């Protein structure tokens, strides 16, 4: 994570935005996407002709349809976005794309431009969101706590525990960076992920993350205790 390339973002020009209802990208994290809609195939093509960047946005839940769709490019998007870099791409024969994107940084939408005659997707002027504070020893304590919980505590039961633990134990990976990984890999609630994206304060993100992981740990403890209870033949906790 710490040895990856450094990307520059030009905030003086509008950037394409790709809104989804249930995908929240965090800085330094990578996710695969399958791009099939014609407007977003055009967006990927245009992005690849330039910097290879676009903004991953989140649809406002109260403005989307039953499926959380943005069929006409009119649904409201939430203000916080993550600028994404296309790290890998494959163009399929029918024009669809398989891409892997990496989060670069947090940003806010300042002014949005709707689709136009010659551009089927939305763009927006963005402003960067920088970390507002240096939590110092508090963040290091959180790193030690998460490391212990994944190695010996309640969180060891998570499927991602082993892989995340490797990063936590690597002292060359900055704590701020590894906490982004922890938030992305260990939280599955999209609203919590958006709160982590929306929060500029490192201390506030750390507090939110610890609260969520502690609650997750308690749930795992209860589940494990139930599994250990001997049930009558033919019964299960399902």
pTM of the predicted protein model: 0.85
The full set of domain ranges for the chain reads 15-128, 137-228
Mean pLDDT throughout 29-52?
Answer: 96
> For position 229, what pLDDT does the model report?
53
Q: What is the pLDDT of residues 120-158, one digit of tens each?
A: 999 999 999 998 887 778 899 999 999 999 999 999 989
Give Cα 160 distance to the centre of its chain: 16
The 3 state secondary structure assigned to the chain is CCCCCCCCCCCCCCEEEEEECCCCCCCCCEEEEEECCHHHHHHHHHHHHCCCEEEEEEECHHHCCCCCCCCCCCCCECCEEEEEEEEEEEECCCCCEEEEEEEEEEEEEEEEECCECCECCCEEEEEECCCCCCCCHHHHHHHHHHHHHHHCCHHHHCCCHHHHHHHHHCCCCCHHHHHHHHHHHHCCCHHHHHHHHHCCCHHHHHHHHHHHHHHHHHHHHHHHHHHHCCCCCCCCCC
Please give the mean pLDDT across all residues of the chain: 88
Domain 15-128 belongs to what topology? Answer: 2.30.130
Burial environment of residue 66 by CB neighbours within 10 A (0 to 12, 13 to 18, 19 or more):
exposed
Distances in Å between the Cα of 147 and the Cα atoms of 176, 201, 232 are: 14, 22, 37
Window from 4-13, 51-60, 117-126, 196-205 with minimum mean pLDDT: 4-13
Q: What is the pLDDT of residues 212-231, one digit of tens each?
A: 999 999 988 887 766 655 54
CA atoms within a 13 Å half-sphere pointing along the CA-CB vector of 59: 21
Classify each residue of 153-192 as buried b or exposed e, where b means 16 or more C-beta atoms within 10 Å of its C-beta: bbbeebeebeebbebbeeeebebbebbbbbbbbbbeeeeb
Q: What is the pLDDT of residues 171-193, one digit of tens each?
A: 999 999 999 999 999 998 999 99
What's the token pair of residue 88? 């890998």
Contact criterion met (CB below 8 Å) for 80 and 129 = yes
> For position 137, what pLDDT does the model report?
84
């Amino acid at each position: 994570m710490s040895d990856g390339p450094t990307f520059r973002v030009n905030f003086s020009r509008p950037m394409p935005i790709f809104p989804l209802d249930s995908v929240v990208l965090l800085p330094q994290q990578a996710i695969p996407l399958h791009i099939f809609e014609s407007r977003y195939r055009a967006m990927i093509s245009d992005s690849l002709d330039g910097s290879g960047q676009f903004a991953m946005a989140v649809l406002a839940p109260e403005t989307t349809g039953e499926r959380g769709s943005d069929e006409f490019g009119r649904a409201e998007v939430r203000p916080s976005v993550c600028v994404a870099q296309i790290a890998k791409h494959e163009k399929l024969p029918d024009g669809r794309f398989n891409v892997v994107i990496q989060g670069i940084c947090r940003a806010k939408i300042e002014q949005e431009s709707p689709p136009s005659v010659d551009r089927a997707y939305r763009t927006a002027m963005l402003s960067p969101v920088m970390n507002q504070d240096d939590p110092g020893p508090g963040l290091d304590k959180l790193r030690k706590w998460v490391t212990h919980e994944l190695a010996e505590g309640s969180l060891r039961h998570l499927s991602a525990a082993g892989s995340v633990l490797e990063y936590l134990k690597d002292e060359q990976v900055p704590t701020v960076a590894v906490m982004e990984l922890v938030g992305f890999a260990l939280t599955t609630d999209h609203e919590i992920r958006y709160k982590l994206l929306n929060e500029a304060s490192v201390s506030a993100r750390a507090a939110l993350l610890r609260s969520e992981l502690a609650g997750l740990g308690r749930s795992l403890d209860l589940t494990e205790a139930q599994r250990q209870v001997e049930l009558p033949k033919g019964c299960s906790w399902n």
